[in-house]
Amino acid sequence: MCDDSVRVPKQVEQKNFFRLVAGSWIITSVVITNCYTGLMISDLNSPLPTTNVPETFQDLICENKAVIQAFKHGENLTEWIRKANLELENVADPSTLVLISSPCFKILSAPSKTRGFEFIRFLYFTQLDIHSLQYLSEHLFLENIVTLLLGNRKHSFVPSGYSPDNRILPNSTDLAISKSRASIEKDVASCLKYVLAVDGFDVAAEFEFLSRKYYWIKFYRGKDSLGAKPFGWLFMGERESRVREYFQALLESGIHGRLDHEKQRRIIKLGSSILRYPAADNRMSLNSAFLTLFILCGTVIGFTMLCIIAELWVVWKMTVLKAFVRAKNCKAKCTRSIRIGLSKCVTE
């Protein structure tokens, strides 16, 4: 409203009421406009703008993206596949997991008691499948190439604070797993280059949990999957039993899907309640954003007071002059009355 200048009549401009009202509103509008502008350009200042949000696993690849184009063009990649698969075997070893600092996306996943983390477990089985093939280039698919590229150590598949000394082992306790989940959740909610890879059945529940708990953060779901395999149920020896028909009715009505969804939500909710044990104290103090509010309010009020003093300077000057003249006149009257009294005393 105050961005464009308008003509104000001189008679109105000279009024103190107009100056006070317009000045206060201009200061308020500038603060509000700057806050609104800061919200609009937050994507430009963020470490990962919304225009660069990855949607597929190929978008996460950090190095050797040209290999994908070479595979699509039918080039022979047998030698590269052997080397990459050998490197993937070393990466899939839980004893060699370390936190690596790199500009690449960090791929996190749920803890596993067999391979440290679920994504490491997925890389391990992919490495076994590729190793069992005799003619590599003829039997591999694009998904296998993408998995080999994602096996780069620069993707650092462990959360912050992880060390080989506290890795998840088959005899690990639930508290150790909960601490790993807490670190993963903290990293994912840090708005940095972290990606959470979960099972296809857990995506909806995990996304809903994170969106509700961190409602001020906008999370994104990918449009791609790795290692997808069909599954089903087989009933043997049912004979005249109607269990198959009842089960089919549960699937078609959506009851079974709803039960699976509720099961995943309860598992995640239970994990979140366990995570409260190592939680830190997040009480607001004057050293946090609360101090910023006082600084802004104090600055606006102080600047407003200076404007009011400047605008009322003429009024205050006239008031001081009048008070000075009155005091001078009062002093003169008092002096005159004292002189008259002294002269009468001398005459008597």
37-55 per-position pLDDT tens digit = 766 665 555 555 555 788 8
Q: Give the model's pLDDT for residue 47.
A: 52
User: What is the C-alpha to C-alpha distance for residues 256 and 278, in angstroms, rounded to an integer?
Assistant: 35
Residue 280 predicted with pLDDT over 50: no
Q: How confident is the model at residue 225 (pLDDT cuts 50, 70, 90)?
A: confident
156-170 per-position pLDDT tens digit = 888 887 766 555 444
H/E segment holding residue 116:
strand 116-117
Q: How confident is the model at residue 277 (pLDDT cuts 50, 70, 90)?
A: very low
For strands 106-109 and 194-197, give the pairing: parallel
- Whether the Cβ atoms of residue 116 and residue 97 lie closer than 8 Å to each other: yes
φ and ψ of 5, to 5 deg: -80, 145
φ and ψ of 261, to 5 deg: -65, -45
User: What is the C-alpha to C-alpha distance for residues 155 and 145, in angstroms, rounded to an integer?
Assistant: 16
- Whether the Cβ atoms of residue 142 and residue 168 lie closer than 8 Å to each other: no
Residue 279 predicted with pLDDT over 50: no
Q: How confident is the model at residue 176 (pLDDT cuts 50, 70, 90)?
A: low
**Token pair listed for 227:** 């290692």
Task: Return the ∠ at Cα 53 (arms to 268 and 162), rounded to 5°.
Answer: 50
Query: In the predicted model, what is the mean pLDDT of residues 133-139?
Result: 62
Range with the lowest mean pLDDT among 42-51, 63-72, 261-270?
Answer: 42-51
Residue 293 predicted with pLDDT over 70: no
Q: How confident is the model at residue 284 (pLDDT cuts 50, 70, 90)?
A: very low
